[in-house]
Structure 1
Amino acid sequence: MLFRHILVAYDGSKQAVKALEKAVGLVEACGGGTKLTVVHILNLAPIMTGDMLFAPTAAMETLAVERAEAVVAEAKLKTAPVVRATVEMHLGTPAKMVLSLAEEHGCDLIVLGSRGLGKLREFVLGSVSQHVVQYAKIPVLVVK
């Protein structure tokens, strides 16, 4: 068995779909003994830009939770063929939560999609995949 437990960060984006497909393929290639955990991280934290703070309204939070539930349902459909798969939703900062959950679950591989941000946006906003690659203590597969 190549991997015992794979964690996939899933947000429903095109890159995340590719990452999930790659992880499912890895599980199948490992002979079915590998566990797959798919996590969706809901980030409701206020956004600070310059001197301005943007906090989500109650209506925005409700929409975000509804979208998150739809993303989780979609991930469950995509992982249905995998016997040892679970899909979870957590609240927090995506990059930090992915690292924390990988450690908590005892994963030996993290798979996530590359967002393909431009250089300026990547510099200003940071990148979940970049942060995870930099700070992970286990191998990370970034799928483009």
Structure 2
Amino acid sequence: MSFHNILVAYDGGMPSVKALDKAMDMVRHYPESKLTVLYVYSVAAVAVADSVVAVPASIQREQFLEAQEQLKQAEAQIASIPNATSVLLEGSPGETIVRYAKQHDNDLIIVGNRGFGPLREFVMGSVSHYVLQHTDVPLLVIK
């Protein structure tokens, strides 16, 4: 079975690097395939008592610049693949990956098995688990 429109979620962590490597291997075997590297960064609000406080603009800017820098590393890796592109979006990672895949008719999503630190993953749930529960697109989770 070949896939023609592959989406790989990337956050610069080792699991996402492995996911990107696997996606690139697949695209090399099926040259007609398209590869999209999606980096989703989130600007979290801070809860204080009964209020939600927005993150200062300077920190939001830092997060955006860090996301751009991480994505540049992926772009360097995919530069040799003709049908490869990258996308940077802000939002909830799991929700954004699922929505993007649906809107762009991806026929495979590849993610690393972890994208968060252990505590954050425990509290919020992992991106890979969210995608698994909410997408109709085949999902490949790379360990």
Q: Could you tell me the TM-score, scaled by structure 1's length?
A: 0.89
- Whether 1:19 and 2:6 are equivalent positions in the alignment is no
Report what 2:8 is aligned to: 8
Secondary structure at 1:3's aligned position in 2?
Answer: coil
* TM-align CA RMSD: 1.9
Q: Distance in 2 between matches of 1:19 and 1:48?
A: 33
Task: Calculate the TM-score normalised by the size of structure 2.
Answer: 0.90
Query: What SS does structure 1 have at the residue aligned with 2:16?
Result: helix
Map 1:35-74 onto structure 2 (within 5 A): 35-48=34-47, 53=52, 55-74=54-73
Provide runs of 4+ in structure 1 moved above 6 Å.
none
Structure 1 vs Structure 2: percent identity of aligned residues?
A: 38
- Aligned partners of 1:44 and 1:19: how far apart in 2? 24
Q: Secondary structure at the match of 1:137?
A: coil
Structure 2 CA distance, aligned partners of 1:3 and 1:50? 48
Other structure's SS at 2:133 match: helix
Report how many aligned residue pairs link the two structures: 142
Amino acid at match of 2:41: L
Shift of 1:49: 7.8
Deviations 1:1-47 (A, max 9, x none): 600100011111111101000000011122x0000011111211314
Distance 1:87 1:98 in 2: 13
Offset of residue 48 of structure 1: 3.9
Which aligned pairs between 1:1-144 and structure 2 lie closer than 5 A? Answer: 2-30=2-30, 32-48=31-47, 53=52, 55-115=54-114, 118=118, 121-144=120-143
The runs of 5 or more residues in structure 1 that have no matched partner are: none
Flag the 1:95–1:33 CA change in 2: closer, same or farther, 3 A: same
Structure 2: unaligned runs, 5 residues or longer: none
SS in 2 for 1:81: coil
Structure 1 residue 86, shift from structure 2 partner:
0.5
